[in-house]
């Protein structure tokens, strides 16, 4: 998926309609066309970028900057008790549109969404080994100064 074929780039360019709720120089927020709860909103950067690990920290910062205001407005608009902020990255994680985006999913008590959280416990030593590999792979030069 590139800028020419990307559905979110088409929305940003005004070639496909959307139900816009907010826009600034760097980000656009609009209602998800296939919501999983009332008010389900997507927040996308205007610059095409496929997923978080391919995105510069300035772009991610622009998304984060808009998030508190948007989450508050979305939650209030639908009288939600809370919300999930989701970001699917890659096919295995359920990403369908390869233009990085945050889902704001308003939640209400006993709404039945995400009932399963399949947590488990690491066997002895495994958490430390994984953490060590993560640390080895950190590229600190990517962090915004």
> Rounded CA gap, 131 and 137, in Å?
10
Q: Which does 1 bind (CB under 5 to 8 A by kind): Zn ion, ligand AMP, none?
A: none
Does 75 engage in binding with ligand AMP (CB under 6 A)?
Answer: no
Is 101 catalytic? The answer is: yes
Does 33 engage in binding with ligand AMP (CB under 6 A)?
Answer: yes
Phi, psi of 31 (to 5 degrees): -70, 140
Footprint of Zn ion on 33-52 (CB under 5 A): 48
> Rounded CA gap, 83 and 75, in Å?
7
> Rounded CA gap, 86 and 42, in Å?
10
Q: Which does 84 bind (CB under 5 to 8 A by kind): Zn ion, ligand AMP, none?
A: none
Residue placing its CB nearer to ligand AMP in the complex, 4 or 139? 4
Does 49 engage in binding with ligand AMP (CB under 6 A)?
Answer: no
Q: Contact region for Zn ion (CB under 5 A) — 2-10, 17-25, 70-78, 104-112? A: 2-10
């Amino acid at each position: 998926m590139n800028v020419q074929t990307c559905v979110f780039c088409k929305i940003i360019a005004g070639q496909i309609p959307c139900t816009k709720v907010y826009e600034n120089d760097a980000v656009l927020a609009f209602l998800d066309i296939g919501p999983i709860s009332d008010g389900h909103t997507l927040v996308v950067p205007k610059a095409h970028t496929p997923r978080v690990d391919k995105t510069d920290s300035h772009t991610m910062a622009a998304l984060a900057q808009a998030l508190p205001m948007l989450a508050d407005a979305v939650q209030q608009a639908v009288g939600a008790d809370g919300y999930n902020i989701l970001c699917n990255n890659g096919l295995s994680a359920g990403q369908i549109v390869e233009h990085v985006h945050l889902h704001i999913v308003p939640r209400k008590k006993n709404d039945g969404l995400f009932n399963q959280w399949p947590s488990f416990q690491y066997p002895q030593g495994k958490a430390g080994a994984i953490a060590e590999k993560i640390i080895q792979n950190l590229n600190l030069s990517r962090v915004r100064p």
